[in-house]
Amino acid sequence: MKKVLIVSDNVELVTYFKTIARTIPIEVAQFHYCYSVINKSPRALKEMGMFVVNMKSGHDISSIVSNYDLVISAHCKQIFPKTLVESIRCINIHPGLNPHNRGWFPQVFSILNKKPIGCTIHLMDSEIDHGAIIYQKEVKIDSWDTSLDVYQRVVDAEKILIKEHLSDLVTENYTCKTMEIEGNYNGIRDFKHLTNLDLKHEASLAEHIDLLRALTHGDFKNAYFIDGKGNKVFVRLHLENEQ
């Protein structure tokens, strides 16, 4: 029997994960769930019985290493330390199609740079979103999609991979593929830089529509400009396909 720790800060994904985990016999695996200490609104996760973990605490890391056979990150906000990924098998469920746009908010950057988007389940190493790829699923981007539309499609693809392969992930019944190229990485600074709209920026209208839809994600106040009176004005785009 494998002891598996799921670390997640995403309510939707971990809720789905739990329903699939319940279909795996207890003789095969036992699952425990936790969220990261930097999660600022963990109420729903606490209510699901999840406990908190701090990936920067030596005590928490040693306790994970001595108690579990496998750790799965399903959108954990904290980066797993080298000591953890090198001591125990760690798997990441990542909302991007590695090696393209690794790092923060992959769909935002894929709308802009047209690199493929989807989700990746991979072994973790000490670099971010980087280890050998186990499963991937690409999704499309339509011209009327905002960041939220694409993100929802990516999460749906992650759920499909979890449903199809959770049992194989636990029992190590898979082959993995080293990334052929390093691809590219975007940090939170790259995202923040995009949100500060330069009103004098010159580009085609298509590029400007892409920029604004890439920064439109539900209620998030992402894109903004500062007007002549110093007001900060947030911008979102509404796009509608005729059909």
Residues of this chain, 133-162, that bind ligand 0FX according to CB under 6 A? 147, 151
Q: Does 222 bind ligand 0FX (CB under 6 A)?
A: yes
Q: In terms of CB distance, is 9 or 210 closer to ligand 0FX?
A: 9
Q: Measured between alpha carbons, how far is 56 from 82 in angstroms, rounded to an integer?
A: 11
Q: Does 101 bind ligand 0FX (CB under 6 A)?
A: no
**Least distance from ligand 0FX to the Cβ atom of residue 107, Å:** 6
Q: Measured between alpha carbons, how far is 80 from 87 in angstroms, rounded to an integer?
A: 11
Active site residue 94: yes
Q: Could you say which of 2, 18, 32, 77 contacts ligand 0FX (CB under 6 A)?
A: 77
Under 8 Å between Cβ of 216 and 148: yes
**Least distance from ligand 0FX to the Cβ atom of residue 70, Å:** 18
Which stretch, 82-90, 110-118, 196-204, 215-223, contacts ligand 0FX (CB under 6 A)? Answer: 215-223
Q: Could you say which of 9, 145, 149, 158 contacts ligand 0FX (CB under 6 A)?
A: 9
Q: In terms of CB distance, is 31 or 104 closer to ligand 0FX?
A: 104
Q: Does 75 bind ligand 0FX (CB under 6 A)?
A: yes
| Catalytic-labelled residue, pool 94, 122, 130, 217 | 94
Q: Long-range contacts for 125-132 (Cβ within 8 Å, ≥24 apart)?
A: 125/85, 126/82, 126/85, 126/86, 128/79, 128/102, 128/103, 128/185, 129/92, 129/94, 129/96, 129/98, 129/102, 129/103, 129/185, 130/98, 130/102, 130/179, 131/85, 131/92, 132/176, 132/177, 132/178, 132/179
Q: Does 100 bind ligand 0FX (CB under 6 A)?
A: no
- Strand, helix or coil at 153? helix
Question: Total binding residues for ligand 0FX by CB under 6 A?
Answer: 13
Structure token pair of residue 141: 């981007």
Q: Does 95 bind ligand 0FX (CB under 6 A)?
A: yes
C-alpha dist (Å) from residue 35 to 13, 54, 73, 94, 179: 12, 9, 10, 16, 28
Q: In terms of CB distance, is 88 or 149 closer to ligand 0FX?
A: 149
Residue type, 237: L
Q: How far is CA 113 from the centre of its chain?
A: 18
**Least distance from ligand 0FX to the Cβ atom of residue 228, Å:** 26
Which residues form the interface with ligand 0FX (CB under 6 A)? 9-10, 75, 77, 94-95, 104-105, 147, 151, 217, 220, 222
